[in-house]
Structure 1
Amino acid sequence: MREFPPNRPGEILLAEGRLETGWWGKGPEAAPTVVLLHEGLGSLGLWRDFPARLAAATGWGVLAYSRFGYGGSDPVALPRPLDYLRREATAVLPRVLDAAGLRRGILFGHSDGASIAAIHAGACPDPRLQGLVLVAPHVFTEPMGLAGVAATRDRYAAGDLRARLARHHRDVDVAFHGWAGAWLDPRFPAAFDLLPEVRRIRLPVLAIQGEADEYGTPEQLHAIARETAGPVERLLLPGIGHAPQAEAPEAVLAALRTFLARLGAGGSDAAADPV
């Protein structure tokens, strides 16, 4: 049976409070780092076994953390400001990278996390970063995506989704309503246009989306490819929904390994066989 690197739980303390963290594989002194940025309802724990598989497949270290208001990290006040993703990308993420001791690596963002990664790369150029992986990214709102958020809100009110998410969040209502309340605010579409930041991205980008994503169309990938100043590789996965790293991990890991090879950004030792 394949063995994967164990999670080394930890924490990062910022002025706002405590963030829970996990680290898999080598530390930043020994190998580059993949920094995982979770989705709008995600957390450290909801990455499940993907960080361990990622570390095994690449030979890189992997850092994941729960943002404020998610998982076991300290809560936030509601309602979230409509520019909460920009604040996360420009005011919080740089300090997380510093506190983690990042030397070189990439950002791997899923959904809201992909938006944060794109904003950060466009607004806060960091010479330690070699590339971006944007999974199910959002750089502007779409009617079908907002309808998907509204449908998820209805599922949460019915109770089944709330009960499942409550296992992964210290305050599940803060986590959920912070996300849904912002996205469903009628002022959000105007506040959320990320194309100005996308146009300033100079890093190589790997953009991945499922064709059956209920929150976004392939136009998200096409807009990134059109607008980004750096090179962009696109991977559209047939039959896959909003979480390609969970639904098609082998395809995502294979694309990532190829992307890293093109960057010339291998780990300190030869990576393990593809997972």
Structure 2
Amino acid sequence: MQNPASANANVTVTVTATATVSDFAELPATASHGPLRIEYRWVNERAGDAPIAVFLHEGLGSIAMWRDWPQTLCERLGMRGLVYSRPGYGLSTPRPHAQKWPADFMTAQACDILPALLDALSIDRDERGRMWVIGHSDGGSIALLYAALHPEALAGAVAIAPHVFVEDISVESIAQTKQLYETTDLRSKLSRYHADVDSAFYGWNDIWLDPAFRQWSIAGEIASIRQPLLAVQGHDDNYGTMAQIDTIAARVPHAQLVKLDACGHSPHRDAPEALNEAIAAFVLKISAS
């Protein structure tokens, strides 16, 4: 769940016991945020000038939490992959502990942070026109919003277990996750993937449990999506029901849906072969048309 600058050279960093080599892009301050340092990594770079797939992680995700799935999928698709940790996550600039994400935080990611990162990495208009966004959970919602906001700058989008509106099941599961975080070793486990684990966790948890967020919906915004769109959901997802991607189909009639059996909220971990097959079939069909 939950502006141009030059990228720095490779830096070796350590999050608890896990060593990770990452690059960093510096994004200048805007009206909506201060200066940001964004952790990113390229995968399958040997694909040369192949199209780019940008991976947008879940609300508690980061580069490290994707593990090797972006690499595996990019090799299957013959694409390069750009994986990054959103502000507040991984090794990117932490969220100040006193700051709460606003209700439209995912829209800000789609209309501000991601375009600024692409500028910082000198990804030009032609490359963006061939680009795919692939997002999971909150990242799936950001992928939908990016596709709606940038109709000419994308080849297509894949939304995996996205959120289009807030359901009771989502709030209940997120409340349970907060209890686990505060009473079990979940905090310790997550600290392997985030430099400031409380920044990552409470940034996501606080906004999703805010009563004002219950009215959040992007059903209207996504109706403007014109690019090819694949939406994937597991039947056993405890963070959302099939109503999420059924709403996408109602608002974006050309969208293709895939509903996976024996699969929870994380298809790339629960059913990676079925997910990869569905994405590859969709992307390759679009590319051949």
TM-score of the superposition, structure 2-length normalised?
0.85
Structure-2 residue corresponding to 1:158? 183
Relative distance call for 1:22 and 1:265 in structure 2 (3 A) is farther
1:253 to 269, 276, 286: 276
Structure-2 residue corresponding to 1:218? 242
2:223 to 199, 202, 211: 199
Rounded Cα–Cα distance in structure 2 between residues aligned with 1:8 and 1:259: 32
Residue 228 of structure 1 deviates from its aligned partner by 1.4
Matched, 1:188 2:213: yes
SS in 2 for 1:183: helix
- The answer to whether the Cα contact below 8 Å between 2:87 and 2:94 also exists between their aligned partners in 1 is yes
Structure-2 residue corresponding to 1:271? none
Rounded Cα–Cα distance in structure 2 between residues aligned with 1:90 and 1:189: 22
Structure-1 residue corresponding to 2:260? 237
1:91 to 112, 117, 136: 112
Q: Which amino acid aligns with 2:145?
A: I
Rounded Cα–Cα distance in structure 2 between residues aligned with 1:106 and 1:136: 17
1:54 to 48, 63, 73: 73
Rounded Cα–Cα distance in structure 2 between residues aligned with 1:25 and 1:8: 15
Of 150-159 and 9-18, more deviation after overlay is shown by 9-18
Q: Which amino acid aligns with 1:34?
A: A
Residue 95 of structure 1 deviates from its aligned partner by 1.3
Structure-2 residue corresponding to 1:169? 194
Structure-2 residue corresponding to 1:124? 150
Rounded Cα–Cα distance in structure 2 between residues aligned with 1:80 and 1:28: 37
Q: Which amino acid aligns with 2:176?
A: A
Structure-2 residue corresponding to 1:178? 203
Residue 8 of structure 1 deviates from its aligned partner by 7.3
Rounded Cα–Cα distance in structure 1 between residues aligned with 2:223 and 2:23: 35
Of 79-88 and 145-154, more deviation after overlay is shown by 79-88
Rounded Cα–Cα distance in structure 2 between residues aligned with 1:219 and 1:171: 34
Rounded Cα–Cα distance in structure 1 between residues aligned with 2:156 and 2:64: 24
- The answer to whether the Cα contact below 8 Å between 2:77 and 2:284 also exists between their aligned partners in 1 is no
1:61-100 map, 5 Å: 61-77=80-96, 78-100=99-121
Matched, 1:115 2:136: no
SS in 2 for 1:129: coil
Structure-2 residue corresponding to 1:12? 25
Gaps of 5+ in 1: 1-6, 267-275
- The answer to whether the Cα contact below 8 Å between 1:9 and 1:23 also exists between their aligned partners in 2 is no
Q: Which amino acid aligns with 1:194?
A: I
Q: Which amino acid aligns with 1:199?
A: A
Rounded Cα–Cα distance in structure 2 between residues aligned with 1:58 and 1:124: 23
Rounded Cα–Cα distance in structure 2 between residues aligned with 1:176 and 1:84: 15
Rounded Cα–Cα distance in structure 2 between residues aligned with 1:69 and 1:106: 24
- The answer to whether the Cα contact below 8 Å between 1:209 and 1:218 also exists between their aligned partners in 2 is yes
SS in 2 for 1:19: strand
Rounded Cα–Cα distance in structure 2 between residues aligned with 1:165 and 1:232: 34
Rounded Cα–Cα distance in structure 1 between residues aligned with 2:47 and 2:86: 21
Rounded Cα–Cα distance in structure 2 between residues aligned with 1:140 and 1:221: 10
Deviations 1:45-94 (A, max 9, x none): 00001011112211100110000100011112321112111111111111
Taking only the aligned residue pairs, the percentage that are identical comes to 40
Residue 265 of structure 1 deviates from its aligned partner by 6.0
Rounded Cα–Cα distance in structure 2 between residues aligned with 1:45 and 1:228: 32
Residue 205 of structure 1 deviates from its aligned partner by 0.8
Rounded Cα–Cα distance in structure 2 between residues aligned with 1:257 and 1:55: 9
Rounded Cα–Cα distance in structure 1 between residues aligned with 2:105 and 2:60: 14
- The answer to whether the Cα contact below 8 Å between 2:100 and 2:206 also exists between their aligned partners in 1 is yes
1:139-158 map, 5 Å: 139-158=164-183
- The answer to whether the Cα contact below 8 Å between 1:25 and 1:52 also exists between their aligned partners in 2 is yes
The structure showing larger relative contact order (alpha-carbon pairs under 8 Å, at least 6 residues apart) is 1
Residue 159 of structure 1 deviates from its aligned partner by 3.0
1:44 to 52, 63, 80: 63
The RMSD of aligned alpha carbons is: 1.7
Residue 240 of structure 1 deviates from its aligned partner by 0.6
Gaps of 5+ in 2: 1-19, 29-34
